[in-house]
């Protein structure tokens, strides 16, 4: 029988132990590149999206000292701010002044949220903002980064970090899938396959989705797919945590999000696919394992990829 | 020591908020925390909760000094993908139980548009805003967006 002390020890081991920073560093690079793409494609439209030339109605009326910063700026200022944002995201991605660049990215993302993004109110923006906030305090720049290259002369040198930020992000993804799946079980609209039919001919639908509906597939098949989606979303968070099922659920989650992107043009959740790496538990660091000059970046990444599936829980 | 305490405080705070949001998700019961905290966490668990069998769009109709009316194309002002542009036009971020704020925001939005259009040299005397609704069809998004199948509701007018 486990004692209270051993429970506490397991709790601390799960949440607070030191760990190599490679998982978070790899996620930083992929997530940073994703955000750069997400916002980079908006660059030609900054004047309309984020300046007073567009039709902006910020969340707060700019009538008090705390809210006046949300007055839509002139076009030139909007461009300067946006380029600063992209610059901060780029620095975050390559790991240059990582903590500062992550914090600046987060603050400017919050600014754009209050200025305009809240109109869509998208779950992915909520998730991305939360992720940036956690990453700002994570030490994700402690390997595979310009920072570590400058400090120790090697891209692959590393310093141990707390596992807490990685756990927080993994738990958040767990809760996201769990909440979404649970809601679909009880929400009236999700009790039959009609929701899929309506979605496939709605505002988000793409040509392949319309083509599927035009095939006149029986509604019972849509019903079955709806239940499959609900079962998958509820079980996904558990499947991702368990080493034996993880790769199956990663494959399923990948297929799921790619399908959504293709059929409903909702591509932002593709960022969750690389986030599955956060469910892998890195081994405890040994003092002799860190340090500079242990092979090239490619070698280290391959080593990490080969290590991931055979980790010990 | 302070760092360890802070880490534990952050973790417990995060877990409490997240459990609160999950409870809100499951039972629609608010749990201890300020509404915006729960809503933010809930917002990470809330995509695609429902759908409709109809499509809708909003028509901003400009009236010129000679009395003629033209539909103003909002696309240049809203350089988003089709789905996002359509969804944003609903101004659902300002939705309240009685709908009064959302209606005021439609007026505010129309005033902004009137201002921008006049700056572009389009001397509209007024702008009228209508909501249009039609049934969805496998034939395409606007397949049934025809006078026979479309219902139109007047929302507001600015000048």
Distance between CA atoms of residues B47 and A121, nearest Å = 10
Q: Render each residue's pLDDT in chain A as its tens digit; 313 residues.
A: 568 888 889 999 999 999 999 999 999 999 999 999 999 999 999 999 999 999 999 998 877 777 888 899 999 999 999 999 999 999 999 999 999 999 999 999 999 999 999 999 999 999 999 999 999 999 999 999 999 999 999 999 999 999 999 999 999 999 999 999 988 998 899 999 999 999 999 999 999 999 999 999 999 999 999 999 999 999 999 999 999 999 999 999 999 999 999 999 999 999 999 999 999 987 766 655 555 445 566 566 656 655 554 454 4
Distance between CA atoms of residues A126 and A130, nearest Å = 6
The pLDDT value recorded for residue B49 is 83
Residues of chain B neighbouring A162 (CB-CB closer than 8 A): 7
Tell me if the pTM is above 0.95. no
What are the residue ranges in chain B where pLDDT is below 50?
Answer: none
Decide if B39 touches A, using CB distance below 8 A. no
Residues 219-258 of A with CB under 8 A from B: none
Q: Nearest CB to A189: which of B50, B55, B105? A: B50
Residues of chain B neighbouring A16 (CB-CB closer than 8 A): 4, 7-8
DSSP string, B42-60: HHTT-S-----SEEEEEEE
Chain A interface test: which of B26, B48, B107 (most A C-beta within 10 Å) = B48
Check if the beta carbon of residue A176 is closer than 8 Å to that of residue A37: no
Distance between CA atoms of residues A260 and A233, nearest Å = 13
Determine, for residues B22 and A178 on separate chains, whether the beta-carbon distance falls below 8 Å: yes
Find the helix packing angle between A4-16 and B2-27, rounded to 10°.
90
The pLDDT value recorded for residue A108 is 98
The pLDDT value recorded for residue A292 is 46
What residue ranges do the domains of chain B occupy?
A: 2-43, 54-158
Q: Nearest CB to A120: which of B10, B87, B105? A: B87
Check if the beta carbon of residue A204 is closer than 8 Å to that of residue A264: yes
The pLDDT value recorded for residue A293 is 45
Q: Nearest CB to B22: which of A44, A55, A179? A: A179
Please, what is the average pLDDT of chain B?
A: 92
Check if the beta carbon of residue B142 is closer than 8 Å to that of residue A210: no
Residues of chain A neighbouring B43 (CB-CB closer than 8 A): 121, 123, 126
> A144-201, pLDDT tens digit by residue?
999 999 999 999 999 999 999 999 999 999 999 999 998 899 889 999 999 999 999 9
Return the SS3 of B13: helix
Residues of chain B neighbouring A178 (CB-CB closer than 8 A): 22, 45
Please give the backbone phi and psi of residue A40, each rounded to the nearest 5 degrees, phi first: -60, -40
DSSP string, chain A: ---HHHHHHHHHHHHH-EE-SHHHHHHHHHHHHHHHHHHHTTGGGHHHHHSTTS----SS-S-STTTGGGSPPPHHHHHHHHHHHHHHHHHHHHTSSHHHHHHHHHHHHHHHHHHTGGGTT-HHHHHHHHHHHHHHTTTTTSSSSHHHHHHHS-SS----EESHHHHHHHHHHHHHHHHHHHHHHH-GGGSSTHHHHHHHTSTT--HHHHHHHHTT--HHHHHHHHHHHHHHHHHHHHHHHSTTTHHHHHHHHHHHHHHHHHHH---GGGGHHHHGGGGSPPPPPPTTT-SS-SS-HHHHHHHHHHHGGG---
What residue ranges do the domains of chain A occupy?
A: 18-163, 165-280
Please give the backbone phi and psi of residue B64, each rounded to the nearest 5 degrees, phi first: -85, 165
Check if the beta carbon of residue A21 is closer than 8 Å to that of residue A161: yes
Taking the CA of residue A183 and the nearest CA in chain B, the distance in Å comes to 7
Residues 176-195 of A with CB under 8 A from B: 176, 178-180, 182-183, 186-190, 194-195
The pLDDT value recorded for residue B25 is 81
Taking the CA of residue B67 and the nearest CA in chain A, the distance in Å comes to 25
> B53-73, pLDDT tens digit by residue?
999 999 999 999 999 999 999
Query: How many Å is the Cα radius of gyration of chain A?
Result: 22
The pLDDT value recorded for residue A310 is 45
Task: Tell me the ipTM for this assembly.
Answer: 0.93
Distance between CA atoms of residues A183 and A230, nearest Å = 9
Q: Nearest CB to A182: which of B25, B78, B113? A: B25
The pLDDT value recorded for residue B130 is 97
Chain B interface test: which of A43, A132, A171, A175 (most B C-beta within 10 Å) = A175
- CA distances, B83 to each of A50, B57, B131, B141 (Å): 19, 11, 17, 11
Taking the CA of residue A293 and the nearest CA in chain B, the distance in Å comes to 31
The neighbouring-strand residues paired with B126 are B63
The pLDDT value recorded for residue B33 is 79
Chain A interface test: which of B16, B27, B44 (most A C-beta within 10 Å) = B44
The pLDDT value recorded for residue A290 is 55
Decide if B82 touches A, using CB distance below 8 A. yes
Decide if A127 touches B, using CB distance below 8 A. yes
The pLDDT value recorded for residue A298 is 58
Residues of chain B neighbouring A120 (CB-CB closer than 8 A): 84, 87-88
Query: How many Å is the Cα radius of gyration of chain B?
Result: 22
Q: Nearest CB to B44: which of A54, A123, A264? A: A123
The pLDDT value recorded for residue A12 is 92
């Amino acid at each position: 029988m486990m004692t209270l002390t051993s429970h506490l020890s397991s709790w601390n081991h799960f949440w607070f132990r030191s760990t190599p920073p490679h998982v978070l560093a790899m996620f930083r690079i992929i997530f940073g590149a994703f955000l750069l793409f997400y916002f980079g494609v908006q660059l030609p439209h900054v004047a309309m999206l984020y300046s007073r030339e567009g039709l902006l109605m910020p969340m707060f009326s700019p009538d008090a000292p705390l809210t006046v910063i949300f007055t839509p700026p002139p076009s030139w200022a909007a461009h300067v701010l946006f380029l600063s944002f992209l610059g901060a995201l780029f620095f975050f991605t390559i790991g240059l002044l990582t903590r500062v660049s992550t914090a600046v990215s987060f603050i400017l993302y919050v600014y754009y949220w209050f200025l305009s993004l809240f109109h869509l109110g998208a779950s992915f923006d909520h998730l991305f903002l939360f992720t940036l906030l956690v990453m700002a305090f994570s030490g994700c720049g402690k390997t595979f980064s310009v920072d570590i290259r400058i400090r120790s002369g090697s891209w692959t040198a590393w310093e141990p970090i707390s596992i807490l930020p990685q756990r927080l992000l993994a738990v958040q993804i767990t809760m996201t899938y769990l909440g979404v799946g649970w809601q679909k079980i009880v929400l009236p609209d999700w009790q039959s396959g009609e929701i899929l039919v309506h979605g496939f001919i709605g505002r988000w639908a793409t040509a392949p989705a319309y083509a599927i509906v035009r095939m006149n597939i029986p509604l019972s098949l849509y019903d079955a797919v709806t239940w499959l989606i609900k079962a998958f979303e509820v079980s996904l968070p558990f499947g991702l945590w368990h080493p034996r099922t993880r790769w199956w659920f990663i494959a399923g989650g990948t297929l799921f999000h790619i399908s959504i992107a293709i059929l409903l043009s909702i591509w932002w959740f593709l960022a969750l696919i690389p986030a599955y790496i956060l469910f892998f538990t890195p081994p405890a660091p040994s003092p002799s394992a860190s340090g500079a000059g242990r092979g090239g970046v490619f070698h280290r990444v391959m080593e990490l990829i080969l290590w991931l599936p055979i980790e010990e829980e | 020591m302070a760092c360890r305490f802070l880490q534990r405080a952050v973790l417990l705070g995060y877990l409490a908020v997240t459990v609160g949001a999950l409870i809100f998700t499951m039972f629609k019961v608010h749990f201890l925390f300020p509404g915006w905290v729960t809503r933010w966490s809930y917002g990470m668990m809330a995509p695609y909760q429902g759908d409709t069998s109809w499509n809708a769009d909003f028509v901003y109709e400009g009236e010129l000094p000679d009395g003629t009316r033209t539909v103003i194309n909002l696309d240049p002002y809203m350089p988003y993908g089709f789905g996002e542009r359509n969804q944003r036009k609903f101004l659902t971020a300002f939705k309240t139980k009685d709908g009064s704020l959302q209606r005021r925001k439609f007026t505010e939005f129309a005033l902004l548009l009137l201002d921008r259009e006049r700056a572009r040299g389009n001397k509209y005397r007024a702008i009228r805003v209508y909501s249009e609704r039609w049934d969805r069809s496998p034939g395409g998004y606007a397949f049934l967006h025809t006078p026979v199948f479309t219902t139109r509701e007047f929302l507001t007018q600015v000048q």
